[in-house]
Amino acid sequence: MTVYAIIGGTGLTKLDGLTIKAALHIDTPYGAPSAAVLRGDYAGREVLFLARHGHPHRIPPHQVNYRANLWALREAGAKAVIAVNAVGGIHSAMGTGHFCLPHQVIDYSYGREHTYFEGELEHVTHVDFSHPYDAGLRHKLSSALTAEHCAFSNHGIYGCTQGPRLETVAEIARMERDGCDIVGMTGMPEAVLSRELALPYACLALVVNPAAGKSRALITMAEIERALDEGMDTVKAVLARVLAS
């Protein structure tokens, strides 16, 4: 039976309804993960949970130890990873409260430790990253969102920026020209590190604000927090359906 790992982003630093059996403090060759890996039961299924930004939420996107996080999840027994991400909407369909299951990613981040294949290697290793998100996991998430009667898009291009600041109007305009539908700060290198560890990986993205220039109003944290509060119950219901499938 597949053991799923759930990586919770902003708004999901804990998974309500998770019956915790163990909090695993795992040492990795890459340092400490963001938080303990929680092993427990959720929706009648064993699951692993890790808060990407720590608990409490304290680690900014560019300082998350992505390598340690994924390594720790694999060491804990994860066989597949579902990442929950709060994002901004670029495409007109990606309004606040909309869900997106991206099928592609463009990485605009920099300076992050983005691979396990470096240092004193015996040989150079390249991984195929043509399709960064696992089709089977995306299908399960799509079925769960449909069952929950959610507004969602089952395709989209995720543009990953450095953070922690939000983007300028000009940057979003460039990303739109590049084909990005949503923008976030944590999609990479998480996805490629999962691929290097041979862990199927998919992203459940919740749009929490219009990207810069896509609304006449300024982006406020109050707006983002309200969208997170309204969307997290749906996120949890979707995760429960995937785990029960």
Is residue 85 a known part of a binding site?
no
The neighbour count for residue 7, using CB atoms within 10 Å, is: 28
Residues 124 and 3: their CA atoms lie apart, in Å, by: 30
- 69 close to 50: Cβ distance less than 8 angstroms: yes
Is residue 210 a known part of a binding site?
yes
Is residue 52 a known part of a binding site?
yes
Is residue 209 a known part of a binding site?
yes
Is residue 186 a known part of a binding site?
yes
Is residue 211 a known part of a binding site?
yes
- 44 close to 244: Cβ distance less than 8 angstroms: yes
Q: How far is CA 163 from the centre of its chain?
A: 15
Give the DSSP letter of residue 62.
G
Question: Could you tell me which residues are beta bridge partners of residue 5?
Answer: 48, 81
Is residue 10 a known part of a binding site?
yes
Alpha helices for 55-209 (secondary structure H): 66-75, 135-147, 169-178, 190-196
Among all chains, which residue has been given the structure tokens 């949890």? 236
The binding site for phosphate consists of 10, 52-53, 186
The binding site for substrate consists of 185, 209-211
The binding site consists of 10, 52-53, 185-186, 209-211
